[in-house]
Amino acid sequence: MKANVTHFPLTFKRPAGTSRGVMNIKNSWILSLEKDSIVGKGEISIIEGLSAEFVDVTSFESTIQAFCEAVKKDDHDSIQTILTTNSSIRFAYECALADLKNGGLGIIFNNAFYSGKRKLPINGLIWMGSEDFMKEQIDAKLSEGFSTIKMKVGAIDFEKELELLHSIRKNYSATEITLRVDANGSFEPHQAVKVLEQLAELEIHSIEQPIKAGQWNEMHKLCSSTPTPIALDEELIGINDRKLKIELLETIQPQYIILKPSLHGGISGTQEWISLAEERSIPWWMTSALESNIGLSAICQLTAEYSNNLPQGLGTGSLYTSNVENGLVVENGFIYRN
């Protein structure tokens, strides 16, 4: 089997602000597998400062090239060694294999989403920035028909961010607009207690990762008494062993978990997280790791394998100045294939 990779950098239409800094360009690579003149594709997507396997472009591309050589040689041991510690490569490889098997048509799961018969509800994402910029985004998302808004918090003055949330609540009740916030681990545990109380007054649906990952006992304390539901995100990164996943879920006992296949063990790792969470009655939803439409379509198809009707974080395809056209449409708070 032939294997090659192409660097596919994505340029943001506007700088994307998070508590980890501002992104202007997002690095991605397209992995192509070819057999019998059929080509299957998958996207290797990393987020600098978040993807556990990424240090810099040079060393990461060396790993990708080594992986391609292992695939060409059918070196099973080397393939598995790389996949074990590289969620982004595992996701791309699993997608490319599925696409190849299904004729190179972009079919990862041949289900109702791929055929255009199922729409997935999604949240409208509000990036960090100046107060005016964030308000501008909020107004735009509401006018576009989104009923769930997700706002990044923790980078600018939190009191100003609260004011923005208050301004939404003045005009829209919790039954009209669902509000989610994403802290990206920006609060200290002692700060988080007050933050959770303030958010509860606004009937916030959930807060993603209020404190930095790795503080399991502190996170458990917050989850056990929080008036605002907590969703784990970064907490799951790098946890690929089944026993460790179970230990994390049973120690922290979160209200939700959020899954990104490129960060959480590819398709297979994500499916394992879902199975373990559902066994413990922990709801989940899916988000992208800022993939292009290639990876985004695959994640949508994976999501549609389940009967989960929570709004997903899958509306990121329109962030870039250039993208791959593959039939994905975002309309009135839903994503679907045309």
What are the catalytic residues?
152, 260
Please state, in angstroms and as integers, the Cα–Cα distance from residue 175 to each residue in 56, 120, 179, following that order: 44, 19, 10
Distance CA 125, CA 246 (A): 30
Sheet hosting strand 206-208, strand order edge to edge? 124-126, 148-152, 178-182, 206-208, 230-232, 256-259, 284-286
Determine contact, residues 152/184, Cβ cutoff 8 Å.
yes
Please state, in angstroms and as integers, the Cα–Cα distance from residue 80 to each residue in 14, 67, 211, following that order: 38, 9, 33
* 3-state class (DSSP) for residue 6: strand
**What is the full DSSP assignment across 102-145?**
TTSSS-SS-STTTTT---EEBPEEE-B--HHHHHHHHHHHHHTT
For 108-132, b/e burial (b = at least 16 CB within 10 A) is bbebebbeeebbbbbbbbbbbbeee
Distance CA 79, CA 328 (A): 31
DSSP 329: E
* 3-state class (DSSP) for residue 29: strand
Determine contact, residues 210/227, Cβ cutoff 8 Å.
no
For 231-263, b/e burial (b = at least 16 CB within 10 A) is bbbbbbbbbbeeeebeebbeebebbbbbbbbbb
Determine contact, residues 308/276, Cβ cutoff 8 Å.
no
Closest CA to 297 of 9, 34, 43: 43
